[in-house]
Amino acid sequence: MSIMTYRQALHDTLRAEMQRDEDVMLIGEEIGVFEGSYKITAGLLAEFGEKRVRDTPIAEEGFTGAAVGAAMLGLRPVVEIMTINFSLLALDQIVNHAAKIYGMFGGQARVPLVIRTPGGGGQQLGATHSQNVELYYAFVPGLKVVAPSNPADAKALLLAAIRDDDPVLFLENLALYNTKGEVPDDETPAEIGRAAITRPGTDITVVAYSRMAAVALQVAEELAATDGIDVEVVDLRSLRPLDRETVIASVKKTHCAVVLEDDWLTYGIGAEIAATISDGAFDWLDAPVRRVAMAEVPLPYSKPLETAALPSAEDAAAAIRQTLAAVARRA
């Protein structure tokens, strides 16, 4: 095991995969000479050259489309879109081409493409640079969508994404880049579509992903210390395919659930998880599923307003206490 940041885990994994497979190449804005807006690609242009580390114009639809074509012809492009907000400019290439080519061509062509892109608020980047629009992509058959919450999963899921023969949206959160954790030294990829129980518990299930999965762990430890509440944390890790079985099994054990997400509540990932629990574990529920999400507003630039709009550890703890209080009233 090595201790490293989420950022370093991504960098080292990209480098290792480029050394392992010469078909792996990087494409994106400012990833070469400038070494990436978040320095994930630092040093890779110098090591691998501009044939495999391609700086692009500010033209997301154009360079994403080029990557789709390169993937169809046998390369394994890893596209960096500077922020998930800018991926909307490439929506046609991602949704109407990358996701559909394998099916529309009857399996005659595959698209082994990875699109890395960060999102999330809390950095005072304004409403058009702070969104979590992963639902747009998790909605689309033909895409795989992963969202690691810690450095170990960042490595394992990036390994899996690069080696996968289907297009993978690899979602990062800006607030996670400097977080540290243990990372295995081996090169074993994760299984895309498999959630992780990051903290076993018996009193209540908390389901989350990306930044909110890290928040869930923090809240679980605090509630264990202050209230004696034993929280089981399910980190989804993958939004498509979705590991419904692990979520349902956890709720059947604890009999209640709270879902945490960084995006808007209406039509969100949490709504899908709540429906999954209703379908698969309704008879085991002792209280309604509660959801915690951000305020339904374009995220403000003002720091106090931004903080107020984003879901917090306090919001999560309150939802857990309220759910367990409802269980007690029904007992």
User: What's the Cα-to-Cα distance from 144 to each of 114, 147, 237, rounded to whole Å?
Assistant: 9, 10, 11
**Treating both helix axes as pointing N-terminal to C-terminal, what angle do 6-20 and 151-163 enclose, rounded to 10 degrees?**
30
Which of the residues 17, 29, 35, 60 is marked catalytic?
60
Within 8 A by CB and 6+ apart from 203, the residues are 229, 230, 231, 232, 254, 256, 324
What is the Cα–Cα distance from 270 to 252, expressed in whole angstroms? 18
Q: Residue 37 corresponds to which tokens in the numbers above?
A: 């807006």
The answer to whether residue 129 is catalytic is: yes
What is the Cα–Cα distance from 140 to 85, expressed in whole angstroms? 17
Which of the residues 11, 29, 129, 261 is marked catalytic?
129
Query: 287, 327 in Cβ contact below 8 A?
Result: yes
Name the residue among 112, 117, 23, 14 with its Cα closest to residue 69. 112
The DSSP secondary structure of 103-118, one letter per residue, reads HHTTTS-----EEEEE
What is the set of active-site residues? 60, 129
